[in-house]
Amino acid sequence: MSRLYDTVEPAVIDEEMLQKAVEEQGPRDEAGRIAKQEGIDFADVLSLRLDFKNILKIDNLWRFTSLTKLQMDNNIIEKIEGMDALVNLVWLDLSFNNIEVIEGLDKLTKIRDLTLYNNKISCIENMDALVDLHVLSVGNNELDQLENLIYLRRFKQLKTLNLSGNPFCDDPNFKHYVIAYLPTLQFLDYRLIDENTRAAANEQYTYPIQQLEHNEEQARKRIEDQEAKEAEFNLHKGAYVENLNGSALFDSMFADDTEGPKLALLPGVDELLTGYKDKYTAICQQIFEYGLKEHQRRGDEVSGFQTAVDEAKEDNRNMGMRKINDFNEYRRKMFAELAQSSDQGHIDTSLEQHNKEIDKLWDSLMALEMQLVDQLEDTIKEFERNMADMVSTFVENVQALISQCRDLENTHNEKLLEVAIVTLEKMVKNELDDELPDDVRMLFVDKDTITNAVGASHDLHLLKIDNKEDDIITRANNWLAALMERVHNEEEVKRNRLRVSEINNFIDHLREEVETFEIQAA
């Protein structure tokens, strides 16, 4: 098929073309008439065919958000683009175009069937988003690297593949290579892969595939580990105690401290630091464990509350539905009776009775709703109280533990100061044996300098501790506030509004029906 593209004016996907295509391909006959009458919304169209239209650029498709099937074969498209809105696409046909690079498919995660037959593609790539790919056709392209096919191993659902007409098909190993490296394949180049060929192919490539599988397995494991770690970290974060199960906080205290490392070089400070670190880390660990435990308790509390609320709602709903069902039964009988009767007096009394019944139904439904509101209000209040207690206890305990840290820091500071003074004195007396670096020596010019240095270090440490404390407390409180906000909003306000409007809507409907009946009867 050779076409002189240059001589033909490329078409543009415009409103007119789309409208025409949609109408042509839309419903027929009576359905077509109705559709035409009220107009077809592009967002409702499920399938669209734009073939042999000489389209150069994919554009203006963003309104077709529920499209599942798109046919754009036999055009002169050069670039896959403008399809990010078509997230529901399952079937995409771009065969017989001039595409050179696979791209722009990152949003199309639901694609199962992709046809890129007869294009100018030289590399299979950029398809990681297509996790559900079943059928892929890239025949008659310019693929020449067999190794490139390993890319397709990531598609676990890939059953059918068409590669014929590519340069690498001339390779004598082509078929075996494909079959061996893509074990999920069932059809290759329009043919069922028979067991013998598969066995032969597997034999030929046993070793490289084993190697490959091993590598893949390891990569998978790495990712899993990473995910597990991340999940754990997120859990800790949820409990507000991340990085407290080790010396991270301690280390961070010294990270920004310029004076600390210098002071650490003083004689005797080394042991001092080790002891300090051990004690400090122990307290951090305590906070960490306490935090996790509290987190668990809070979770239990919330789920207990949620189940109670859900149950109450379910019970209430069932009661309401029973009432409505009873009423419907009554109404059905009444109308059946009325249909038989022609006595106007009888009809009138019946309708009156019916109206009374409607009022009664409204009363009882609203009573149920009010009852539920009361019940929920009490429960939510209790829950709120408990949660507030829990969080404040948590905060207090964390504060107590952290103040232990602060005490440790203070003690440490005092000792350090002592050591520093002693060292200073020694230095003054020139009794110091150890060689100290010059910048450390610089601190010992006089008592103020060294005191300032130690003090600065101390302040920095305290700041870090304070920050951590603030962080934990704010987050805990914020969480509580958000939770209660949500509970109040969802369980009380929104739910209640919805139910009341629903009841009223239903009652209105019932009344309306009676009225229409009356009009008809009259």
Partner 1 sequence: MDENAENNGEQVNNKAEDTEENEGELSVDDLRAELEKIDIEVPEVEISEVNIQQEDAYAEFPVSYKENTNKEKLILAYAENFRRQYVHLYRDRKPLFLNPVNECGIEKFVSTTIRPTLLPFQELYSYDNCAEFVADYLEFQALDPPVDLPNQLVSPTTALKSQKGNSFDFGTLLCSMLLGAGYDAYCVSGYATREICLMDQTRDVCPLMKKKGELKSEEKKKEMRKYQVKPPKDLRSKFDLKMQARKEAEEEAKAAERRKEEEARISEMEKPKPDALHGLRIHCWVLVLSGKREVPDSFFLEPLTGNTYPTEDDKFLGIESVWNHQNYWVNMQDCSNGCKDLSFDLGDSAKWEYLLHSSEKPSLEIPDVEAELYEGLDDDEEEQEDDKHLEMPPSWVHPILVTPKEYETRCPLGKKTILYKKARLEKFARYLLKDGMITKLSVYDDYELKNLVSVKEWFVNRQDKLELRVHNHRTGLITEYKLQGRLDCMKEHTYKSGSPGPETDRAMVFYDKARVDGLVKREETPTEMTEHFKDRDDFLYYRHVVFSKRMKRFGASTDANHRPILKISERFHRNKEKSAGEDVSERVFHIAEDRIQLTFHCEDNRVTASTREFIKPPNANDKSQTITMTPDMTSTFQVDTTKKSPKNLYIYNMLVSLVEAEDQSIQAIRGSEEEIKECLLERIREETVSELSISVYDTERNEKAKQHRKELERQQLEEKLRRQEQELDYLAPFLAQMGDPDKIARQQAFKLKEDCLADLKQRLIDKANLIQSRFEKETQELQKRQQWYQQNQVSMTKEDEEEYLAYCSEAMFRIHILELRLNRHKEMAPHKYMALEQKIRTDGRLSDYF
- d(CA 392, CA 418) in angstroms, rounded, equals 38
Residue with smaller CB distance to partner 1, 41 or 213: 41
Q: Is 505 in the site for partner 1 (CB under 8 A)?
A: yes
Residue among 34 and 445 whose Cβ is closer to partner 1: 34
Of the candidate residues 6, 9, 30, 448, the single one contacting partner 1 (CB under 8 A): 30
Could you list the beta-strand ranges (E) of 181-262.
187-188, 191-192
Considering only CA atoms, which of 181, 121, 174 is closest in space to residue 150?
181
Strand bridging mode 160-162 / 113-115: unpaired
**Is residue 37 within the footprint of partner 1 (CB under 8 A)?**
yes
Minimal distance, residue 320 CB to partner 1, in Å: 4
Measure the CA dihedral 338/339/341/345, to 10°.
40
CA–CA distance, 220 with 508 (Å, rounded to integer): 60
Residues 175, 201: contact at Cβ < 8 Å? yes
Q: Which lies closer to partner 1 via its Cβ, residue 280 or residue 305?
A: 305
Q: Please report, in angstroms and rounded to a whole number, the separation of the first and last CA atoms in the chain.
A: 74
CA atoms of 192 and 446, how far apart (whole Å): 90
Give yes or no for residue 509 binding partner 1 (CB under 8 A): yes
- Binder of partner 1 out of 382, 396, 407, 485 (CB under 8 A): 382
Helix%, strand%, coil% for the chain, nearest 5: 65, 5, 30
Six token digits for residue 181 = 């490296």
DSSP assignment of 28-45: -HHHHHHHHHH---GGG-
Among 15, 44, 251, 343, binds partner 1 (CB under 8 A): 44
User: How many CB atoms lie under 10 A from the CB of residue 271?
Assistant: 9
Give the CA dihedral 502, 503, 507, 509, nearest 10 degrees: 10
Residue 129 or 366: which CB sits closer to partner 1?
366
**Closer residue to partner 1, CB minimum distance, 328 or 410:** 328
Q: Which is nearer to partner 1, 317 or 441 (CB)?
A: 317
Tokens 């190697």: give the residue: 211
Q: By CB under 8 A, name the one of 157, 215, 234, 307 that touches partner 1.
A: 307
Q: Which residue, among 146, 109, 115, 114, has the nearest Cα to 128 in the 3D structure?
A: 109
Q: Which stretch binds partner 1 (CB under 8 A): 156-164, 187-195, 280-288, 379-387?
A: 379-387
Tell me the window of 33-41, 400-408, 467-475, 480-488 that interacts with partner 1 (CB under 8 A).
Answer: 33-41
β-partners of residue 55 are 11
CB of 108 to partner 1, least distance (A): 22
Distance CA 138, CA 119 (A): 8
- Find where tokens 């000792």 sit: 415
The residue (of 169 and 302) whose beta carbon lies closer to partner 1 is: 302
Closest distance to partner 1 from the beta carbon of 30 (Å): 5
Q: Is residue 327 part of the contact set for partner 1 (CB under 8 A)? A: no
Task: Report if residue 134 touches partner 1, rule: CB under 8 A.
Answer: no
Task: Look up residue 168 and give its DSSP letter.
Answer: G
Determine the distance from the C-alpha atom of residue 158 to the mean position of all C-alpha atoms in its chain, rounded to a whole number. 26
Query: Binding mask 260-299 vs partner 1 (x if CB under 8 A, - otherwise)?
Result: ----------------------------------------
Interface residue with partner 1, options 191, 317, 346, 381 (CB under 8 A): 317
- The H or E element that residue 472 is part of is helix 447-487
| Residues 354-373, mask of contacts with partner 1 (x by CB under 8 A) | -----------x-----x--
- Give min distance, CB of 294 to partner 1, in A: 16
495 binds partner 1, rule: CB under 8 A: yes
Q: Which residue among 31, 199, 223, 255 contacts partner 1 (CB under 8 A)?
A: 31
Q: Which of residues 384-413 bind partner 1 (CB under 8 A)?
A: 386
Q: Does 304 bind partner 1 (CB under 8 A)?
A: yes
Q: How many CB atoms lie within 10 A of CB 349?
A: 11
List contacts with partner 1 (CB under 8 A). 27, 29-31, 34-35, 37-38, 40-41, 44, 301, 304-305, 307-309, 311-313, 317, 320-321, 324, 365, 371, 375-376, 378-379, 382-383, 386, 495, 498-499, 501-503, 505-506, 509
